[in-house]
Amino acid sequence: MNHEFWYLSRAAGFTAYLLLFASMALGMMITSRVGSGGKRQNLVFDMHRFVSVLALLVTAFHAYILLGDQYLNFNVWQLSVPFLSPYRGMAVAVGVVSAYALALVVASFWMRQRIGFRAWRMIHFFSFVLYAGATAHGIAAGTDTSTLWAGAMYFGTCLILLALLVYRIDYAMRQRDETLRREAVKTAKKTRRLAA
């Protein structure tokens, strides 16, 4: 029996996961200005968008290459509709839902002006949930989870994203404090001027 489709799907799964990680990291680098200040900001934003599209394409390849697999004989519906898969139903369903969420986030890049900043931001926050879903899918459905390299990959990527998230929150808090301080100084100056 030909196993190449199965191996290709697994390889594409890892690639899609790493692309998703890269996209998330680039996104957080933009908002927290890590290595993306000045002229580089445009490049980082463009790459964030491009890597997201690439992640979506590789995810689609990861799923639909299984149509060629003769061992489980998947059909399009089993790969597209959650809970229809005969192989690890729950884990695959989480993966399918995460893939749809990724499609939504990617589409939102081009719908920002139509849907408004607040909705776009909400959809973007949703990417953390989709990343968690993709990780859970990889761990639960992947047959390589028990290997050292796969474990190190999941652990390493999650750790880096967590560090970037902590930095992002800290950056946002510092920005807010700075704005409040500036406003306080402005108000004090105004009060002094009025008193004089």
Partner 1 sequence: MLQMKKHTTAKIAAIIASLATMAAAFGLVQYEAIGTATADAATSNAPVAGPSQANLAPAKSAATAKTKSAQPSVRAVTRTHVS
Instruction: CB nearer to partner 1: give 148 or 195.
Output: 148
Check if the beta carbon of residue 20 is closer than 8 Å to that of residue 60: no
User: Minimal CA–CA distance to 143: which of 73, 97, 99, 91?
Assistant: 91
Q: Where are the extended beta strands (E) located within the chain?
A: none
In one letter, which amino acid is 177?
D
Binding mask 115-144 for partner 1 (x = CB under 8 A): ---------------------------xxx
Rg (CA), the chain: 22
The single residue among 147, 175, 179, 187 that binds partner 1, judged by CB under 8 A, is 147
Check if the beta carbon of residue 8 is closer than 8 Å to that of residue 19: no
With CB under 8 A as the rule, give the number of residues binding partner 1.
29
**Cα separation of 110 and 129, whole Å?**
21
CA 188 to each of CA 46, 158, 170, 176, 196: distance values in angstroms, whole numbers, following the listed order: 42, 45, 27, 18, 12
The single residue among 31, 35, 41, 42 that binds partner 1, judged by CB under 8 A, is 42
The single residue among 20, 24, 29, 51 that binds partner 1, judged by CB under 8 A, is 51
Question: Taking CB under 8 A as the criterion, which residues in 55-74 touch partner 1?
Answer: 58, 71
Instruction: CB nearer to partner 1: give 1 or 194.
Output: 1
Q: Which two tokens stand for residue 121?
A: 């931001």
Q: What is the closest distance, in whole angstroms, from the C-beta atom of residue 155 to partner 1 in the complex?
A: 14
Instruction: CB nearer to partner 1: give 147 or 191.
Output: 147
Instruction: CB nearer to partner 1: give 31 or 42.
Output: 42
Asked if 104 touches partner 1 (CB under 8 A), the answer is: no
Asked if 46 touches partner 1 (CB under 8 A), the answer is: yes
